[in-house]
Chains A and B, each alone.
Chain A
Amino acid sequence: DAGVIQSPRHEVTEMGQEVTLRCKPISGHDYLFWYRQTMMRGLELLIYFNNNVPIDDSGMPEDRFSAKMPNASFSTLKIQPSEPRDSAVYFCASSARVQPQHFGDGTRLSIL
């Protein structure tokens, strides 16, 4: 089985640009999660979906961040406009019901 697939693996862009991170969950999983990891704050849950519907977005830092899940096999996390403090590793994870979460390899984002 293919695991959770994230793209791109690395992204370097300038402040003010729009950034879109992509995630393909494991087929059959009905939960999808977006996390952010930094040295200062560790691993933080940003938002999660159940059956393509956002359930809890309380971790989204501000309005510059948005996430969508148009269908069961694809989700995006968008930052517009991006700022240097958004630099982090962003992980996507999926799970079937309340079974263990499976994480992707992450997108390392650098905002200059």
Chain B
Amino acid sequence: DAKTTQPNSMESNEEEPVHLPCNHSTISGTDYIHWYRQLPSQGPEYVIHGLTSNVNNRMASLAIAEDRKSSTLILHRATLRDAAVYYCILRIDNFNKFYFGSGTKLNVKP
């Protein structure tokens, strides 16, 4: 299994930026880094993914280290609705198979 390591939990204040780290030291050159989040009582929801370059979309930004052994999901202004479990996942080469770890539980304080 492709391994990622995330903190169990993090806390943020509303309307402040949040940086969620992920270590993936065994990543190989063709593995994509995906982020999903799971709101309470819902299925996981796609957030963002990337290979080498930093990525931005309407939900978040993904910063990938130059050696690709770590990445950071950035929520620019946390809202209460962003309270969820965030999963960092490696997609191995062209296999469409994900291994979800335990994720980071983000708590957003008003």
Contacts and interface: CB of A to CB of B under 8 A. Distances in A.
Interface string A78-106: 00000000000001010101101111111
A42 interface: yes
Contacts of B103: 42
Interface residues of A, number: 22
B21 interface: no
B96 A42 contact: no
A55 to B, nearest CB: 8
Interface string B29-42: 00000101000001
A48 interface: yes
Q: How large is the interface on B (under 10, 10 to 19, 20 to 34, 35 or more residues)?
A: 10 to 19
Q: For the complex, would chain A's binding face be called helix, strand, loop or mixed by DSSP majority? A: strand
A101 B46 contact: yes
Contact of B45 (A35, A50, A103): A103
Interface string A1-27: 000100000000000000000000000
Contact of A95 (B36, B96, B100, B102): B96
B57 to A, nearest CB: 11
B100 A91 contact: no
B43 interface: yes
A95 B44 CA distance: 13
Nearest to A44: B100
Interface of A: 4, 31, 35, 42-45, 48, 50, 56, 91, 93, 95, 97-98, 100-106
